[in-house]
Amino acid sequence: MTYSKIAGTGRYLPEKILTNFDLEKIVDTTDEWIRTRTGVERRHVCADDETTSDMCVAAAKEAMESAGVTADEIDMVVIGTTSPDLIFPNIATLVQHRLGIPACPCIGMEAACTGFIYALSTADKYIKASEASCVLVIGAECITKLVDWSDRNTCVLFGDGAGAVIVKPSDEPGIMSCHLGADGQYKDLLYYPVGASNKLEKAGTDEAAIMMSGRDVFKVAVSTLGDVASDTLNAAGIDKEELDWLIPHQANIRIIQATAKRLDLPMEKVILTVQDHGNTSAASVPLALDTAVRDGRVKRGQLVLMEAFGGGFTWGSVLMRF
């Protein structure tokens, strides 16, 4: 059987850092409130002229280098993002062109914060079907450009960044199981109110900003992330004690702690980057993965569960031997 395996990882974070103390000067908030309610201490923010594809290219170069892969070997690009440069062409084609990757399928996937998990699961399927042999998968978000900077309920939460992986076939696992889900009945709890065919005239006005019912999102996130983790482990016949690492979506430290508790997993086995990055939506899981790979915590052969949850709602998980 052919498995797919992550051969290398990379990340990019914009140069500009905004701390909670900086935010105290912009909206009626405090470092103490943000830290205790969310776990966030700082976040990176794109420059005015910096785009999601700029971040994707930088993260991809790191992943290609760490996997020892050149552009001409890549035969598929899948990018999860809700903040692409353009409505079309899709972001994967922009990144393909800039990296000099030869003609191949290029897919932009929109699943809010679950975008990277959806993208990785897609790459896994193409590799297992022998329809791709070297896939560039990215989760990236320039989400601070979708935020209302006068709304303290949302502007303190988010940050920008990109995380990338190279996925290749392998005789041994690799990705062991992927679980994806979505339930559109929750569409009004977390959304961005402007699209190409809907209220486009509001783009660039105060009405175009992320809308979120934080408390409701919180509740569904905790129960869904707990359930998807358990379902994934059960489907793979893995006991939770066998897990080396949980790499959850980094939206709120309290959601992460609640998920770890439901899994009886000590926080020492959870990769946390929410303090440094804030909620980077689709970039959050690959940023956390790359951070932990590069600082030596996540090692080859270890059992890793990644999971995410976001607008839609969408959710998903990937269980893998790194």
Q: Which is nearer to ligand UT7, 128 or 145 (CB)?
A: 145
Binding characters for ligand UT7, 58-97, by CB under 6 A (x = yes): ----------------------------------------
Contact 44, 12 (CB under 8 A): no
- Residue from 45, 64, 95, 113 in contact with ligand UT7 (CB under 6 A): 113
- Residue from 16, 98, 152, 240 in contact with ligand UT7 (CB under 6 A): 152
Q: How far is the CB of 251 from ligand UT7 (least distance, A)?
A: 4
| Separation between Cα atoms, residue 143 and residue 46, nearest integer Å | 9
Binding characters for ligand UT7, 253-282, by CB under 6 A (x = yes): --x-----------------------x---
**Residue 157 DSSP one-character state:** T
**Nearest by Cα to 290 from 14, 62, 135, 56:** 62
Location of structure tokens 């996540």: 298
Tell me if residue 249 is catalytic.
yes
| Separation between Cα atoms, residue 7 and residue 141, nearest integer Å | 23
How many residues touch ligand UT7 (CB under 6 A)?
A: 20
Binding characters for ligand UT7, 16-55, by CB under 6 A (x = yes): -------------x---xx--xx-----------------
**Nearest by Cα to 308 from 114, 38, 81, 78:** 114
Q: How far is the CB of 224 from ligand UT7 (least distance, A)?
A: 10
Q: Which is nearer to ligand UT7, 25 or 215 (CB)?
A: 215
| Total count of residues recorded for the chain | 322
Residues 212-241 that bind ligand UT7 (CB under 6 A): 214-215, 217-218, 221
Structure tokens at 254: 């309290």
- Residue from 59, 164, 210, 251 in contact with ligand UT7 (CB under 6 A): 251
Q: How far is the CB of 101 from ligand UT7 (least distance, A)?
A: 30
Q: How far is the CB of 6 from ligand UT7 (least distance, A)?
A: 23
Q: Which is nearer to ligand UT7, 135 or 289 (CB)?
A: 289
Residue whose C-beta lies closest to ligand UT7: 214
Rg (CA), the chain: 18
Tell me if residue 113 is catalytic.
yes
| Separation between Cα atoms, residue 245 and residue 253, nearest integer Å | 16
Tell me if residue 153 is catalytic.
no
Q: How far is the CB of 290 from ligand UT7 (least distance, A)?
A: 19
| Separation between Cα atoms, residue 159 and residue 184, nearest integer Å | 25
Angle between helices 284-294 and 115-128 (to 10 degrees): 70
Location of structure tokens 């905790």: 222
**Nearest by Cα to 6 from 101, 97, 127:** 127
Contact 39, 252 (CB under 8 A): yes
Mapping DSSP to helix (H, G, I), strand (E, B) and coil, where does residue 126 land? helix
Measure the N-to-C terminal CA separation of the chain; round to a whole number of Å. 17
CA 273 to chain centre: 12
Q: How far is the CB of 53 from ligand UT7 (least distance, A)?
A: 22
Of 4-12, 159-167, 210-218, 285-293: span binding ligand UT7 (CB under 6 A): 210-218
Q: Of these residues, 44, 179, 249, 277, which one is catalytic?
A: 249
Q: Which residues are catalytic?
A: 113, 249, 279
Q: Which residues bind ligand UT7 (CB under 6 A)?
A: 29, 33-34, 37-38, 113, 152-153, 156, 214-215, 217-218, 221, 251-252, 255, 279, 309-310
